[in-house]
Chain A
């Protein structure tokens, strides 16, 4: 392993750099494929390229990278045209057209590949690496050609970034301002075909769609900015390329492609789980946070209610009294009391008795205030009956932000009483209590 990462072997360096470039260009181009919802089309192109590669070998008798690329691009384009024709000119649905093209072209490719292998041409060895990819088997010449293409693709995407963004988001508007949308789409499709044709060196035909789409799909979880998304996708492509070369180096008999895709899938899974906001973990944490907030605020409200019934804040309250005020679950009550004490909103006064601290009292007034304000808003502005608003307010009181509270206060003009004629507790009462 350490041998690999010192990159002292120039051959290792070259293969690694090449694989990384292929991974990155596929990932960046794939971002647009993903955003244009063309993932399936990308898969079909990848499969459709196989017969092109085989034909170019049969015709030229050589495994020269330029010939192979020409064959690949031609086949990729023919497949695109056929898909387009099938879905626009026949009654076939788009996914049927894509599926048909994928299987027919791929079938033809396998057929050609088999016939090449049986004809036992000396050069044939290595052509089947197109199926699963084997970056380490690339010759120097291969690497230079494919990396060169990858660099050109990267440059093109960067140069036309703004236009590609627009035709992916709103092609009709792009056309309305006179952008050459057809030509830009042609360019983007050609770039995609080329990225696929070069990328299959690393992962092979079968898994190419993963190299194209997975980095973008994973990146989408982390950001709402297309620029960041492209950079992240490129980074994922880079990582997987590096990993793939390392596998090729340490275990030459291993198929590189599947390992690259395994790593990419891993990145995708991690993204799904831990990405901020959109990730599963973030959502779970948010829900847990909400549950905690609701638990604590309900306890504070119970304290306030006991104080209100006694017509004065009560010095100490027993857990039993809290239970009578509101049917808490044992576990939630215990946990909530502990959390509130730790946050300094409660004092523990010996076994089973608690008192609100000044901060706690203020918090409890706030929650009750929000509850009553919302009830009032529902009855006053939404014409709900007063006996129908309690349950909604129970939920909404935990959501209302200070801004919304300010808006409510303004809208209702700092009311004194809620619909049930209970006093709305203000932090600084508008005027001293009349009694």
Chain B
């Protein structure tokens, strides 16, 4: 398996306080990958440093074996929904079209093809009927789907999504998930920051468990174990015991497998 993302000794600090310590992992291409950890464990920060939005104090990131700038057009980033002002006076279609903006085309108009791809992306997430609505007139879940559509319009190979399921109802979650599965079938890599432990082990092929430091990275069965979850979620034992029960009830393998792709 080829490597989609690898980080080497990645350390990130805000105002000199490190929130990611020496993160070292790699994830393979063509998988659905979950990034999990409690609130404030640095999941968003990890995504931002992969996208070059925050400057690491040390370490570096490689994507498809190259630097971000070399492969930028193959990468798509979906920020947390709360990161923008949804009262901004633009329509759903305009947001989707932003996925077609290119750094070498700052000026000038978008082509007909760009418009087609944006509409196609909206269609895929079921938001085409709302294309002309102002984005404030959408529910939270619909706004999230618009963000996903913008990412789809980019036609990237690697998607980094920050909590795309936050505030999304079960039906939308299902729809987005089906979409992600399709994308995986088409050979795309999707890395998702996710909160809900209950659904995580069903969604993801691969997991990155984080709490300021890297707890564990690997295929889901190897990572989603009581031991690693306890390390990641520490005090939050109530969730943990719930999840442990879940794992037990579903007869999930709790035992760690030896795993050779793991970097030193």
Which residues does A use to contact B, with CB under 8 Å?
A: 35, 37, 159-160, 162-163, 165-166, 168-170, 172-180, 184, 220, 223-226, 229
By a CB distance below 8 angstroms, the chain B residues around A178 are: 69, 72-73, 103
Is B85 an interface residue when CB atoms closer than 8 A count as contact? yes
Which of B83, B89, B94, B154 is A177 in contact with, Cβ under 8 Å?
B154
**A170 near B103 (CB under 8 angstroms)?**
no
Knowing A172-B79, A175-B51 are in contact, say whether A229-B154 is a contact too (CB < 8 A).
no
- The docked-state distance in angstroms from the alpha carbon of A386 to that of B95 is 45
Within 8 A of A (CB), among B75-99: 75-77, 79, 83-85, 88-91, 94-95, 98
**A163 near B106 (CB under 8 angstroms)?**
yes
Minimal Cβ-Cβ distance residue in B for A176: B77
Minimal beta-carbon separation of A279 from chain B (angstroms) = 16
**A172 near B83 (CB under 8 angstroms)?**
yes
Minimal beta-carbon separation of A315 from chain B (angstroms) = 47
Which of B51, B89, B102, B107 is A176 in contact with, Cβ under 8 Å?
B51
- The docked-state distance in angstroms from the alpha carbon of A303 to that of B101 is 61
**A177 near B90 (CB under 8 angstroms)?**
no
Within 8 A of A (CB), among B49-79: 51-53, 69, 72-73, 75-77, 79
Minimal beta-carbon separation of A177 from chain B (angstroms) = 6
Minimal Cβ-Cβ distance residue in B for A179: B103
Minimal beta-carbon separation of B130 from chain A (angstroms) = 13
Which residues does B use to contact A, with CB under 8 Å?
A: 48, 51-53, 69, 72-73, 75-77, 79, 83-85, 88-91, 94-95, 98, 101-103, 106-107, 110, 134, 136, 150, 154
By a CB distance below 8 angstroms, the chain A residues around B85 are: 37, 169
**A226 near B90 (CB under 8 angstroms)?**
yes
By a CB distance below 8 angstroms, the chain B residues around A176 are: 51-53, 75-77, 79
Minimal beta-carbon separation of B129 from chain A (angstroms) = 13
- The docked-state distance in angstroms from the alpha carbon of A79 to that of B94 is 34
Minimal Cβ-Cβ distance residue in A for B72: A178
Which of B75, B76, B98 is A170 in contact with, Cβ under 8 Å?
B98
- The docked-state distance in angstroms from the alpha carbon of A178 to that of B90 is 22
**A229 near B98 (CB under 8 angstroms)?**
no
**A160 near B106 (CB under 8 angstroms)?**
yes
- The docked-state distance in angstroms from the alpha carbon of A179 to that of B53 is 12
Number of CB contacts from chain A to chain B under 8 A: 77
- The docked-state distance in angstroms from the alpha carbon of A184 to that of B98 is 16
Knowing A160-B106, A178-B69, A225-B91 are in contact, say whether A173-B52 is a contact too (CB < 8 A).
no
**A169 near B101 (CB under 8 angstroms)?**
no
Apart from A159-B107, A178-B103, A225-B90, what are 17 other A-B pairs with CB-CB below 8 Å?
A35-B88, A35-B89, A162-B106, A166-B101, A169-B84, A169-B88, A169-B95, A172-B83, A173-B79, A176-B52, A176-B75, A176-B79, A177-B72, A179-B103, A180-B106, A224-B91, A224-B134
By a CB distance below 8 angstroms, the chain B residues around A177 are: 72, 77, 101-103, 154
By a CB distance below 8 angstroms, the chain A residues around B88 are: 35, 168-169, 226
- The docked-state distance in angstroms from the alpha carbon of A132 to that of B134 is 39
- The docked-state distance in angstroms from the alpha carbon of A174 to that of B77 is 10
**A173 near B98 (CB under 8 angstroms)?**
yes
Minimal beta-carbon separation of A288 from chain B (angstroms) = 23
- The docked-state distance in angstroms from the alpha carbon of A170 to that of B95 is 10
Which of A35, A165, A170, A224 is B83 in contact with, Cβ under 8 Å?
A170
Which of A160, A168, A172, A180 is B103 in contact with, Cβ under 8 Å?
A180
Minimal Cβ-Cβ distance residue in B for A31: B89
Which of A159, A179, A220, A223 is B101 in contact with, Cβ under 8 Å?
A179
Which of B52, B75, B90 is A165 in contact with, Cβ under 8 Å?
B90
Minimal beta-carbon separation of A348 from chain B (angstroms) = 43
By a CB distance below 8 angstroms, the chain A residues around B106 are: 160, 162-163, 179-180, 184
By a CB distance below 8 angstroms, the chain B residues around A162 are: 101, 106, 110
Knowing A163-B106, A175-B52 are in contact, say whether A170-B89 is a contact too (CB < 8 A).
no
By a CB distance below 8 angstroms, the chain A residues around B150 are: 173
Closest 7 CB pairs of A and B: A224-B134, A176-B77, A178-B103, A178-B72, A226-B89, A176-B51, A170-B84
